[in-house]
Amino acid sequence: MKRICVFCGSRAGSATIYAETTRDLGRAMARRGLGLVFGAGHVGLMGVLTDAVREAGGETIGVIPQSLVDRELAHASLTDLRIVESMHDRKALMAELSDAFIALPGGFGTLDELFEILTWAQLRFHAKPIGILNVNGFFDPLLAWIDRAIAEDFLKEKNRELLKVESDVERLLERLLTSEPGASNGVL
């Protein structure tokens, strides 16, 4: 495994634990030689994460649509900045460049990215591991919704395993790194 794509908030959240844990993740990735692929923003948890990876000597690859570059939202100092046409192109390239995915706390954008990559895994378009870092119990309501979707037969029980949930940075990285490769039809 070479690179992990991290989806996270363009805001930093109200509690300091969100930025602190994000910083821990960035340092742990750099320590393990895992590059970061992300949405290239300099704001919120995205900015915190990138600065932590960069300061620890790790690789940072940002993928951003031209429209957000025009709004001066791209991080100025990355190993590599890929500018694409659209949000759809961005998600496809982020997925292609990465060997695993992590979602940190965030808003609509973070959940959009997480659910798209989960849906592609459910369809076996890829078999790359996906995890969420459940900082401060932030994702508990989402996990409760997943339980309900399974209970009411909207989601197969076995697809719950597509999402690895941990509140500890090292444990999450370990699970992603040691996860058994699943089935993929190679679309992605």
> Where on the chain is the footprint of ligand AMP (CB under 6 A)?
7-11, 39-41, 43, 46, 68, 73, 106-110, 113
Residue whose structure tokens are 């742990």: 28
Cα distance between residue 100 and residue 63, in whole Å:
16
- Local structure of 56: helix, strand or coil: coil
Give the bridge partners for 65, in sequence order: 84
Considering beta carbons, is residue 145 or 185 the nearer one to ligand AMP? Answer: 145
How far from 171 is each of 72, 89, 176, 177, 186, CA to CA, in Å?
Answer: 35, 31, 9, 10, 28
Q: How far is the CB of 180 from ligand AMP (least distance, A)?
A: 27
Considering beta carbons, is residue 150 or 188 the nearer one to ligand AMP? Answer: 188
Considering beta carbons, is residue 43 or 146 the nearer one to ligand AMP? Answer: 43
In the structure encoding, which two tokens stand for residue 10, read together?
Answer: 């363009």
Amino acid letter, 108: F
Q: How far is the CB of 65 from ligand AMP (least distance, A)?
A: 9
DSSP β-ladder status, 163-166 and 100-103: unpaired
**Region label for 40, one of left (φ > 0), alpha (ψ between -120 and 50) or beta (otherwise):** left
Q: How far is the CB of 147 from ligand AMP (least distance, A)?
A: 23
| DSSP secondary structure letter of residue 78 | -
Considering beta carbons, is residue 111 or 150 the nearer one to ligand AMP? Answer: 111
Considering beta carbons, is residue 68 or 177 the nearer one to ligand AMP? Answer: 68
Q: How far is the CB of 52 from ligand AMP (least distance, A)?
A: 16
Q: How far is the CB of 153 from ligand AMP (least distance, A)?
A: 29
